[in-house]
Amino acid sequence: MKKLEQLYEGKAKKVYKTDNEDLLWVEYKDDATAFNGTKKGTIVGKGVLNNLISAHFFQMLAEKGVPNHFVELVNEQEQLVKALDIIQVEIIVRNLAAGSMAKRLGMEEGMDLGGPVVDYCYKSDELGDPLINDDHIRALNLALPEQIQTIREIALKVNSILTNYLADKGIILVDYKLEFGFHKGEVILGDEISPDTCRFWDSETREKLDKDRFRRDLGGVDEAYKEIYRRLTGKEVKL
């Protein structure tokens, strides 16, 4: 497999063409951003950790029947994925109140929501990824109703799988963001699943083990990412 020209560079990843039009080469970056890119920094080793953590989750989900874009690791910082026609809708699944939802609705952080709450956002950096609903999705022609239903069903299946899996690792899955796309006509899971896109709390102490440590200047960001990887795999990463 050959790595060809760069197609795209986002906040957390670079994406390259390969000599197979069905596959893309993804390089995870150490760059860190928050608040729609207004806060920027570098977390040494984040690219390696997010690459390995995402690969771990994608492989586990595939074994549980969740279709996704992951193909294989190339090295510690890069992976091959299926090329997707990305749906411009991000889906957020929340189990506890935190972040923007807690602030927006005046909820105490950590409040149990009594079941998963699903939000949709318009995937647009220029607009700050605003919240949208099913009618907005229809009006913007972002996806068909049946496609959104499929996305919702997969996202909730992922929630059930990950919540139970992480509970055994002493981790609370507070909330997370997913992205989807079309591959050969099938809606499948894409992007990444990592401490960048999920809120992970320690089950006993409720210590934050995710990018909120960067957002809130709590320190120990790299150690939190390493701790997630260690709990998932039982291994240490040499950076």
* Per-residue DSSP letter, 82: E
Instruction: Answer yes or no: are the C-beta atoms of 75 and 179 closer than 8 Å.
Output: no
pLDDT digits (tens, 9 = 90+) for 85-99: 999 999 999 999 999
Residue scoring higher pLDDT (40 or 69)? 69
pLDDT recorded at residue 239: 79
Instruction: Answer yes or no: are the C-beta atoms of 25 and 3 closer than 8 Å.
Output: yes
- Side by side, the strands of the sheet bearing 112-122 are 131-132, 112-122, 89-96, 171-178, 198-202
Nearest to residue 124, comparing CAs of 132, 112, 134, 116?
Answer: 132
Nearest to residue 194, comparing CAs of 182, 216, 178, 180?
Answer: 178
pLDDT digits (tens, 9 = 90+) for 199-235: 999 999 999 999 999 999 999 999 999 999 999 999 9
Confidence of residue 1 (pLDDT cuts 50, 70, 90): confident
Confidence of residue 123 (pLDDT cuts 50, 70, 90): very high
Q: What share of the chain is helix, strand, coil (3-state, %, to 5)?
A: 30, 35, 35
Residues 6+ apart with CB under 8 A from 4: 16, 17, 18, 19, 25
Q: Is the dihedral of CA 192, 193, 194, 195 positive or negative?
A: positive
**Is pLDDT at 48 greater than 90 in this prediction?**
yes
Mean pLDDT to the nearest integer, 133-149? 97
Confidence of residue 34 (pLDDT cuts 50, 70, 90): confident
